[in-house]
A and B are shown apart, each in its own frame.
Chain A
Amino acid sequence: MTVLDCASPAFGVYCHIPFCTHRCDYCAFATWTDRNHLIGDYMASCRRQARELAGGMPPVTSVFFGGGTPNLVPPSLLGDVLAELPLARGAEITVECNPDLVTPEQMQAYRALGVNRISLGVQSAVPHVLDVLGRRHDPQMVTASVDAVRRAGIGQLNLDLIYGTPTESLADWQRTLVEAIDLGPDHLSVYGLTPEPGTPLGDDPSRRPDDDEMADKYLIADELLSRVGYEIYEISNWARPGAQCRHNLLYWQQGSYAGIGCAAHSHRGGRRFWSVRTPERFIAAISAGTSPMAGSEELEPDERRVEALQLALRTSVGVPADALPDDVEHLLEPAAGGRLKLTARGRLLANEVAVRLGLPSEQ
């Protein structure tokens, strides 16, 4: 787990793109399908915010354009934001993409901007599952997108998968995994479908995923992915050795990052803060020269230590053995440095374990 221990002072930038062509049935993200006319103003505001923040930033080791659908906006506008940032040499630069909008030209343009990692929202390889999720792409688009990424010479590829969709059988899920593996990604993010209140899926009890089935599917993924050489480094993230997402790791290492755009989260100097939720309010704040911050939080030192443990518990780094009581022993296994990490079954019960975390007594 050398990458997790990577000593270089990492600093990330997350840029939020709150636009989509269509809203999926499970999605509660800050994104809109009827505001594409704001794209120009919005991206200009992001650029301005990036410029204002750049002076106070250490070298940026990772940039993540997330959404929403970042590949809905012209690549040059992402480039404008990038251009403002003090990028470290070899910085990881990711763009989250929807397969139905990927084109070879788009990927070439990204490559020219220095983008070296693409994250594709695949979710499932099975058409009826994609239907229930309210997705608009079909499996061929995924193959074509992967092709475009490769031809453009973008080195790192992640696929996002969702398990636990109602009507998805165990066989469907296996098929999704196998087909995803066949595409040869460097990294896989595998998420259990989360019923978010306010979404069509979340509000319909008959479409709730079943916990036991979810557990079975997670264990299938864990088994299959490790068998073909992916290593799990966080509850939902698997990577080929050396291909962990540096930006993602920052989150779990309680690292520092700056958020750009609306609904973006920052963590700097021990303080967490986040910006206004809508693109309109963000544009208004930036053009008025006021802070787009909507809220913030600063934890007491002890709370911060507990938070660090909670985050580390999600990763293969694990936590010190004395941070946990005996009743969850059966969910843990040894990790490096005498620490304990969650077993596959333990990862499925991570919340139950996390609420039992206490600060190890000082010796």
Chain B
Amino acid sequence: MLSVSKPTPQGTVRPAMPHVPPAAAIPIGGAGTGSIRNFSIIAHIDHGKSTLSDRILELTGAVEERSMRAQYLDSMELERERGITIKAQNVRVSWRGHTLHLIDTPGHVDFGYEVSRSLAACEGVVLLVDAAQGIEAQTLANCYLALESDLTIVPVLNKIDLPAAEPDLYASEIERVLGIDSGEVLAISAKTGEGVEALLDAIIERIPPPGGDPHAPLQALIFDSHFDQYRGVVSSVRVVNGRLCAGDRLRFMHAGGLHLSEEVGLRLPAVTPTDALGPGEVGYLIAGIKDVAEARSGETVTSAAAPADAPLAGYDDPKPMVFCGLYPVDGDEYPDLRDALAKLRLNDASVTFEPETSGALGFGFRCGFLGLLHMEIVRERLEREFGLSLIATAPSVAYRVRTDDDQELEVDNPSDLPAAGQIAEIAEPMLTVSVLTPSSYTGAVMDLCQSRRGSMTSMDYLSPERVELRYELPLAEVVTDFFDQLKSRTQGYASLDYDHAGYRAERLVRVDILLNGEPVDAFSAVRHRDGAYPYGKAITAKLAELIPRQLFDVPIQAAIGGRIIARETVKAKRKDVLSKCYGGDITRKRKLLERQKEGKKRMKAIGRVEVPNEAFVSALRLDQ
């Protein structure tokens, strides 16, 4: 069942700390860790983490009222536009004589690794639950992460100002599902600020201060790094033992590099240099590094002169799950795309990319992402921040292929798949998927999962109204439009979390698409044998809709191996002419032609066929 195996760490009551004046800017620098509390705010997406961070920034006076804005810590343009957090952010504030390091984390499942990293820098978490929604998929997932790391959990129901809020109901849900005493659950409104002071007090009371020895050799954990064009790599660090001082020579224990500590400092949230960071403190480090690969999250920083014996337990970079080809619309922009990817990777080490050539699209890169949202965001950032115009091929997963001559291959581009005759076995990545849904939608969710080749592993009632369904599902089935479908079939009420679950051999085939008789590698896709024929029919029909009529008939075929399984034809265009000249208005005519010419630039010539860029994206978002 769902209740957690580990007993929840109880908040132990400590003697009240002597009252010292608020002094966020005064570094502790190793003077003692008793007044420090390090915590992350974790929750399901949209349950109010960033809004709570706003209130904390306000209450503690870290941000002046006039410079306050909603979701202050969501500083990326994309975050603000989409109203979601993509990158975790840390900030140091002070409250009643204590120093608090808080980390606001993202809730979206694609960015789960940001939560894991953040937790490595904390002793506790604030687990937020929307009091009008209750526990959702990432509430569970993130709560388990916190428990695995032995962190103190401060459970909080948020949004109690909402008329639909049912704090009592969901407090007992928390007790039943997470095994946390409902009496410990705080109730707040991050919007109005109600209950936030009491929450801050509870944080101080319940979350233990960090340990650590200021006189031991330095061990500091890098839990995030980003590239700043003026300062180079700026890393977020948590000191565990010893002191991290400006001007010290440092050794990066995993990468092996030696660097000079140019600046250490605090985020208050304004960046504020300081002399040193002591045990338990969280801040930033600038060490003249130009490549984030040399200051990966999970890295342990120690002193070059008196190094620690061993690094801290690190963690691996997350592995990409979804792949697609990215190609410049204009082939001349290939070098620009390469530079842009390299720069973007400085801030997002989870993106992978490798040069790739497509017969249809020319030179581009095969890129790996953590999920579909991540893919969409990276693509948007490349276009927006680097002024590129890109074509993305259909998302694919990485297949494991054993060939007849017993070679093992990993193939993340369908067009690289060996010919069917040479494949001894092909396996695809699997997920364990957990869906939380109101019980009235159970049937709809089951239908969806079954149609995506899922097999159910468990079904548990969190309450009479709420069910958790667990499925084994092929990743490939989830990365198409599974999430959209789930949302639309449950009117937005279901939530989803997933984890890797190894590989499973399946009867998979490659479906190729031929335009005007020529195979177009960018449209190749791997499908389960049973789904190949309907897929072929659907995609040829969709392409026939998306490809405009040309000066000649264009046959569109789907094929497995050499066998055609579906065919459509886009008939030759017969009429494209401006009939009338409006009283000598030649300008209008010329501009219409210019627009038409521009339109052609948004098409990719594949052989003689002009294919609109949207076709590459939309064709593969088939509603199945």
Q: Once bound together, how far apart are the Cα atoms of A211 and B571, in whole Å?
A: 12
- A354 contacts across to B, CB distance below 8 A: 593
When C-beta atoms are compared, the residue in chain B nearest to A346 turns out to be B577
User: Which one of B574, B582, B583, B596 contacts A351 once the chains associate, using CB atoms below 8 Å?
Assistant: B596
- B593 contacts across to A, CB distance below 8 A: 310, 351, 354-355
Residue A263 CB within 8 A of the other chain:
yes
Residue B581 CB within 8 A of the other chain:
yes
User: Which one of B573, B575, B583, B586 contacts A192 once the chains associate, using CB atoms below 8 Å?
Assistant: B575
Q: Once bound together, how far apart are the Cα atoms of A327 and B578, in whole Å?
A: 21
Residue B14 CB within 8 A of the other chain:
no
Judge whether B587 and A274 touch: CB under 8 Å: yes
Residue B255 CB within 8 A of the other chain:
no
Q: Are A307 and B578 also in contact (CB < 8 A) when A327-B551, A349-B551, A355-B593 are? A: no
User: Which one of A29, A191, A212, A250 contacts B575 once the chains associate, using CB atoms below 8 Å?
Assistant: A212
Residue B332 CB within 8 A of the other chain:
no
User: Which one of B577, B579, B581, B584 contacts A349 once the chains associate, using CB atoms below 8 Å?
Assistant: B577
Residue A246 CB within 8 A of the other chain:
no
CB distance from B2 to the nearest CB of A (A): 52
With most chain A CB atoms within 10 A of its CB, the pick from B576, B579, B590, B597 is B579
Judge whether A349 and B573 touch: CB under 8 Å: yes
Judge whether A215 and B575 touch: CB under 8 Å: yes
Which parts of B551-585 form the interface with A (CB within 8 Å)?
A: 551, 573-585
Judge whether B590 and A310 touch: CB under 8 Å: yes
- B580 contacts across to A, CB distance below 8 A: 191, 194, 236
Residue A362 CB within 8 A of the other chain:
no
Which parts of B394-444 form the interface with A (CB within 8 Å)?
A: none
Q: Are A267 and B577 also in contact (CB < 8 A) when A328-B551, A349-B551, A351-B596 are? A: no
Judge whether B583 and A66 touch: CB under 8 Å: yes
- A297 contacts across to B, CB distance below 8 A: 587
- A307 contacts across to B, CB distance below 8 A: 586, 590
Residue B529 CB within 8 A of the other chain:
no
Judge whether A265 and B585 touch: CB under 8 Å: yes
Judge whether B587 and A272 touch: CB under 8 Å: yes
Judge whether B574 and A352 touch: CB under 8 Å: no
When C-beta atoms are compared, the residue in chain A nearest to B608 turns out to be A327
Q: Once bound together, how far apart are the Cα atoms of A68 and B48, in whole Å?
A: 61
- A112 contacts across to B, CB distance below 8 A: none
Q: Once bound together, how far apart are the Cα atoms of A297 and B588, in whole Å?
A: 11
With most chain A CB atoms within 10 A of its CB, the pick from B573, B583, B589, B596 is B583
Q: Are A348 and B577 also in contact (CB < 8 A) when A355-B593, A355-B596 are? A: yes
Q: Once bound together, how far apart are the Cα atoms of A215 and B587, in whole Å?
A: 26
Judge whether B574 and A348 touch: CB under 8 Å: yes
Residue B215 CB within 8 A of the other chain:
no
Q: Once bound together, how far apart are the Cα atoms of A109 and B580, in whole Å?
A: 29
Q: Once bound together, how far apart are the Cα atoms of A45 and B582, in whole Å?
A: 22
When C-beta atoms are compared, the residue in chain A nearest to B581 turns out to be A251
Q: Once bound together, how far apart are the Cα atoms of A214 and B573, in whole Å?
A: 12
Q: Are A350 and B584 also in contact (CB < 8 A) when A310-B593, A328-B551 are? A: no
Q: Once bound together, how far apart are the Cα atoms of A236 and B580, in whole Å?
A: 7
- B319 contacts across to A, CB distance below 8 A: none
Q: Are A265 and B586 also in contact (CB < 8 A) when A251-B581, A327-B551, A351-B593 are? A: yes
Judge whether B582 and A251 touch: CB under 8 Å: no
Q: Once bound together, how far apart are the Cα atoms of A14 and B582, in whole Å?
A: 11
CB distance from A239 to the nearest CB of B (A): 16
- A192 contacts across to B, CB distance below 8 A: 575, 577, 579
- A265 contacts across to B, CB distance below 8 A: 582-587
Q: Once bound together, how far apart are the Cα atoms of A14 and B596, in whole Å?
A: 28
- A272 contacts across to B, CB distance below 8 A: 586-587
Q: Once bound together, how far apart are the Cα atoms of A297 and B586, in whole Å?
A: 11
When C-beta atoms are compared, the residue in chain A nearest to B572 turns out to be A349
- A248 contacts across to B, CB distance below 8 A: 581
Residue A135 CB within 8 A of the other chain:
no
Q: Once bound together, how far apart are the Cα atoms of A334 and B471, in whole Å?
A: 69
Q: Once bound together, how far apart are the Cα atoms of A267 and B551, in whole Å?
A: 34
When C-beta atoms are compared, the residue in chain B nearest to A354 turns out to be B593
When C-beta atoms are compared, the residue in chain A nearest to B588 turns out to be A265
- A16 contacts across to B, CB distance below 8 A: 583
- B584 contacts across to A, CB distance below 8 A: 12, 14, 250-251, 257, 259, 264-267
Q: Once bound together, how far apart are the Cα atoms of A12 and B586, in whole Å?
A: 15
CB distance from A223 to the nearest CB of B (A): 15
User: Which one of B579, B585, B597, B600 contacts A236 once the chains associate, using CB atoms below 8 Å?
Assistant: B579
Q: Once bound together, how far apart are the Cα atoms of A350 and B608, in whole Å?
A: 19
Residue A238 CB within 8 A of the other chain:
no
- A212 contacts across to B, CB distance below 8 A: 574-575
Judge whether A251 and B586 touch: CB under 8 Å: yes
Q: Mark B524-551, 1 if CB is under 8 A from A, else 0.
A: 0000000000000000000000000001
Residue A347 CB within 8 A of the other chain:
yes
- A263 contacts across to B, CB distance below 8 A: 583
When C-beta atoms are compared, the residue in chain A nearest to B584 turns out to be A265
CB distance from A124 to the nearest CB of B (A): 15
- B589 contacts across to A, CB distance below 8 A: 310
With most chain B CB atoms within 10 A of its CB, the pick from A251, A328, A331, A355 is A355
Q: Mark A244-277, 1 if CB is under 8 A from B, else 0.
A: 0000101100100101000111110000101000
Q: Once bound together, how far apart are the Cα atoms of A194 and B608, in whole Å?
A: 29
Judge whether A211 and B579 touch: CB under 8 Å: no
Judge whether A352 and B587 touch: CB under 8 Å: no
- A310 contacts across to B, CB distance below 8 A: 589-590, 593
Q: Once bound together, how far apart are the Cα atoms of A354 and B586, in whole Å?
A: 14
Residue A235 CB within 8 A of the other chain:
yes
Which parts of A301-345 form the interface with B (CB within 8 Å)?
A: 307, 310-311, 327-328, 331, 345
Judge whether A351 and B576 touch: CB under 8 Å: yes
When C-beta atoms are compared, the residue in chain B nearest to A194 turns out to be B579
Q: Mark B506-528, 1 if CB is under 8 A from A, else 0.
A: 00000000000000000000000
Q: Once bound together, how far apart are the Cα atoms of A265 and B582, in whole Å?
A: 9
When C-beta atoms are compared, the residue in chain B nearest to A345 turns out to be B574
- B582 contacts across to A, CB distance below 8 A: 29, 265
Judge whether A211 and B586 touch: CB under 8 Å: no
Residue A11 CB within 8 A of the other chain:
no
User: Which one of B577, B583, B586, B600 contacts A350 once the chains associate, using CB atoms below 8 Å?
Assistant: B577
- A235 contacts across to B, CB distance below 8 A: 577, 579
CB distance from B589 to the nearest CB of A (A): 8
Judge whether A352 and B573 touch: CB under 8 Å: yes
Q: Once bound together, how far apart are the Cα atoms of A354 and B597, in whole Å?
A: 9
Residue A233 CB within 8 A of the other chain:
no
Q: Once bound together, how far apart are the Cα atoms of A16 and B593, in whole Å?
A: 25
Q: Once bound together, how far apart are the Cα atoms of A218 and B583, in whole Å?
A: 22
Which parts of B274-327 form the interface with A (CB within 8 Å)?
A: none
Judge whether A347 and B574 touch: CB under 8 Å: no
Q: Once bound together, how far apart are the Cα atoms of A351 and B599, in whole Å?
A: 13
With most chain A CB atoms within 10 A of its CB, the pick from B551, B577, B596 is B577
CB distance from A331 to the nearest CB of B (A): 8
Q: Once bound together, how far apart are the Cα atoms of A250 and B573, in whole Å?
A: 30
User: Which one of B575, B585, B590, B596 contacts A218 once the chains associate, using CB atoms below 8 Å?
Assistant: B575
Q: Once bound together, how far apart are the Cα atoms of A163 and B407, in whole Å?
A: 66
Q: Are A348 and B576 also in contact (CB < 8 A) when A274-B587, A307-B586, A307-B590 are? A: yes
- A311 contacts across to B, CB distance below 8 A: 586
Given contacts A214-B575, A327-B551, 6 further A-B contacts (CB under 8 A): A14-B583, A194-B579, A274-B585, A328-B551, A348-B576, A351-B596
Query: What are 30 A-to-B residue pairs whose CB atoms are below 8 Å?
Result: A29-B582, A211-B573, A211-B574, A211-B575, A212-B574, A215-B574, A215-B575, A235-B579, A236-B580, A248-B581, A251-B584, A254-B586, A259-B584, A263-B583, A265-B584, A274-B585, A307-B586, A310-B589, A328-B551, A345-B574, A348-B575, A348-B577, A349-B576, A350-B576, A350-B577, A351-B577, A351-B592, A351-B596, A355-B593, A355-B600
* Residues of A near any B CB (own CB < 8 A): 12, 14, 16, 29, 66, 191-192, 194, 211-212, 214-215, 218, 235-236, 248, 250-251, 254, 257, 259, 263-267, 272, 274, 297, 307, 310-311, 327-328, 331, 345, 347-352, 354-355
Q: Lowest 5 A-B CB distances belong to which pairs?
A: A215-B574, A265-B584, A192-B579, A350-B577, A191-B579
